[in-house]
Structures are given as structure tokens and as C-alpha cells.
Amino acid sequence: MTKTLLFNTGILTMDAQRRVYDNGAVLIDDDRILNVGPSENLLSTVQSGPDVQLLDFQGRWVLPGLINTHVHLSQQLARGLADDVDLLTWLHDRIWPYESNMTESDSYISSLLCGIELIRSGVTCLAEPGGQHVDGMGQAISKLGLRGILARSTMDMGEGLPPAWQDSTDEALDRQLAIYDQWQGRADGRIQVWLGLRTIFNNSDDLIIRTKQLADDLGVGVHMHVAEVKEEIEFARRTRGASTVTHLENLGVLDKNFLAVHSVWLDQEEIGIFAERDVKVSHCPAAAMRVLGFPKIPEMIAAGVCVTLGTDGAPTNNRMTLVDEMWLTSLIHKGRMLDPTAMPAENVLAMVTCDGARGLLMEDKIGSLEVGKKADLVVVNPNSATMLPIHDPVASMVSSLRADNIESVMVDGNWIMYDRVIKTVDEDDVLASARRHAEALRERAGIKLPQRFNWIQ
């Protein structure tokens, strides 16, 4: 197998010592990192020959592949279907009709489109909270060459649900087990399956407890939207006698393999519970600003909670571009706390790399550029009017980096984007299919958007 040496490049390793190389190199053998260090050292140990590909990345920066811990792949075709509406209109009139009219092939095309946007923003690994057509998502991840964790959306209670989604508790668990059997370890091990819980509105206590037990038995994680909106806390108090996080703690399900998405409405005591149980948080800043509220992310980090970053879905954010979420994260907490030191770039970079990997229980495989880890990495070319000059590389990767600066992306030792060209699918074909599928799906679902402004026919 041919080895690859990337050299003459800046490297942010995000390893435990946070080593940064001004002029560094990464040696890759098959799907693994064989060595990381100064260019000089690695060049002298590697003998140039037909079995070593030398890539001079002068002027670039190499980072670990970015990790998006919460993205709804199958919602990409609903981008723009739910702008400027309240939560109930969003759910009942837009998203449920969209999702309940979706076919397996819609899910596949949606996931391809979303995946391309993710790759273009440097994402190499993602966690999907679960839609209805998991096969389409799995096929897309596999084809795109991404690494991903799948789940199925589970709902065993709740008013107003489309009839096709009303599973019994047993069915909800059985269907997830079937997906686990089908997808776990597929695509050369790049795909894993976790268990999904949608929200406390739609999940019985029995389902929540049995989901956690099953996750422990399988050695996987649980992915759940937690303490998302204020109404959820009121609902939990009314129906379960305690706010969401306190109730989940009472059920005994909060643990190191529990990924709590959004986690906006927590009090200080509940932040302490998250830290004590080593619960992982997926922070989705754009979705939070649109409808949920400010999560206490700096307070969580100070308490020792592992915080990761997600884009959420296209109808809640419109941008599945993780580098935009990094920028937003670096801004919104400073604004809320009136403190420009509240969210330093070091923390934001950790969220999308090493802490992202911890959040997905993959810290031994990905999240940093270290010997023995998977060769998942991103090449940044800062040579643009929007990013230059680079006085402070660590800060620039958060505050000035745009998706356009992501030049190449590698997963498992394979370039899935090189020099801004997606290598695994025909991007133009995907865009054409996405337009067709989105239009047909919207028609089928009967979703009508109110006309804005004064249209002249």
C-alpha cells in the first residue's frame, strides 16, 4: 500500500499537549497516521520512491477532521421550508408533513446533498439523531466516504404524530435493533449505529430506560434532544414531576454514553449533574439562536462538561456548514455574558475535534492528529481575501475560516475532497436530483408557503 506524506504545512494536532507545528508533516499509511512531526525530520526518514506520495502543502494548515455531533441528514431537502415561523407551525405544518411524505430515495438524495455541504466545511465524521429512512442515510454516508453514526428516530407517545410513526415501545426498540444488525460496522467500519430518543414529549419513561439498557448491552451511545425549549421543561414538570434533566437523572439514564443535544434549559445544579455523570452535550448555536434560547455553554465547560458542536437540520438552521457554527459559538456567548474572553478559540476548536470525538465515544480513533489514529484530516488554504492575514492561527481557524478555505478533506486515508473537488460522487448530479426530489416532495406533502412581498406574474 502506498504511503502519503503531507509536508511543509502548518499543523494543529489537537493532541493532549496541543502541539502546533509551524512547518510540519503527517505520514499516512493506509487508513492510519504513521507519524506527525517537523517536516525536516519526517522527510529525512521517508525515502522518496514509488511507494511514497509526497504532497507539498506550503502555505496550508492541516487540522484533524471536524466532527459534527448533531445533523439531520434527511432534512436537507426542507432547507428554506420553515423560515420565520413559530415552533408549532414549524413542526405541524412544515416538518411532519415533509418527513411523513418522504421516501427512501428522498432520504438518500437529501443525505448526499447534506453530506456534500458537510465535506465542503471540513466535516469528516457526523452523528445523525435519526429520521425515518435510515437506509438512505447509511447508503449516502457510505458512498460519500464519510464516517458517521446512525440512529432511528423513536417515538412511542405524543399527540398529533403522523400515524405511520406511532410505534409501541417494543416496536421502537426492535426497529432500532434491526438497524443495528444491518448497519453496525458497515463501510469498512466507518458506520456505527447508536440508539435514538427524539424528545421527552414523544418518549415514555419505559422507552427511555430500556433504550439506555440496550445501548449499554450493545456498547453504543444514546442520542437525545434534551431541555430544548422552555415548554419542554414545563411539560416535563407537569407530566413527570421534574424538569427534563432532573427527571432523566431520576430515571438513572444519564451517563458517559449519553449525548444530550441542545441542553438549553438547565440550571446550575443540572449542569453539575451533567459533569458528574460525564454526559456529553451537542451545542447547536444557530438553532439555539433561532428558537431555543442561550445554552450556558461557558458555564458547562467551566464545570467540566464535554461540549461538542452540531449544525442541527437544514430547516432549523439552513446552513449545515460547521465552520459557520464555530464562528457563531465564538460570538454568541461573548454577547450574552458581555465578556470577550467567555469563549476562546481553543475551546471552540476542541469542540469540533478532540471533544467532538469524546462526545461520540471515538477519542481513541479520531479527533486529533496523532500516531495510530485514523487518517481523518482537513487541509485549510487561508490564501483568500476573507482569511488573510494570519497573525494568530488558532484564532483565525475560528473567527476567519470560511468553508471556501477548506481545500481538501481526507477520511480513513482517502481524499473525499481534493483541491475543492468532491471525489466520491458527481456533485452536479446530486444537485440536479436534489432540486427534483425537493420539489416533488413538497408537492406530495401539500406544504404551502405564504407569499412574501408583491409578486408580479
Q: Which is nearer to Zn ion, 284 or 345 (CB)?
A: 284
Contact 79, 318 (CB under 8 A): yes
Least distance in angstroms from the C-beta of 223 to Zn ion: 9
Residue 168's alpha-carbon distances to 162, 184, 194, 411, in angstroms, are 14, 24, 19, 38
Q: Which is nearer to Zn ion, 131 or 413 (CB)?
A: 131
Q: Which is nearer to Zn ion, 162 or 340 (CB)?
A: 162
Least distance in angstroms from the C-beta of 53 to Zn ion: 40
Q: Which is nearer to Zn ion, 229 or 445 (CB)?
A: 229
Q: In the complex, which residue's CB is closest to Zn ion?
A: 312
Compose the 122-161 pattern: x for residues touching Zn ion by CB under 5 A, - for all others. ----------------------------------------
Interaction residues for Zn ion, span 49-88 (CB under 5 A): none
Least distance in angstroms from the C-beta of 129 to Zn ion: 5
DSSP 186: T
Question: For the chain, percent helix, then strand, then coil, each to nearest 5?
Answer: 40, 20, 35
Least distance in angstroms from the C-beta of 151 to Zn ion: 11
Least distance in angstroms from the C-beta of 415 to Zn ion: 30
Least distance in angstroms from the C-beta of 127 to Zn ion: 10
Q: Which is nearer to Zn ion, 4 or 263 (CB)?
A: 263
How many helices and strands in the chain, by DSSP H and E? 18, 20
Residue 339's alpha-carbon distances to 54, 298, 344, 366, 399, in angstroms, are 45, 11, 11, 32, 16
H-helix or E-strand spanning residue 414: strand 414-418
Q: Which is nearer to Zn ion, 69 or 405 (CB)?
A: 69
Interaction residues for Zn ion, span 292-321 (CB under 5 A): 312
Contact 276, 230 (CB under 8 A): no
Interaction residues for Zn ion, span 188-227 (CB under 5 A): none
- Number of Cβ within 10 Å of residue 92's Cβ equals 11
Interaction residues for Zn ion, span 320-359 (CB under 5 A): none
Alpha helices in 145-259 (DSSP H): 169-183, 205-218, 230-240, 244-251
Binding footprint of Zn ion on the chain (CB under 5 A) = 312
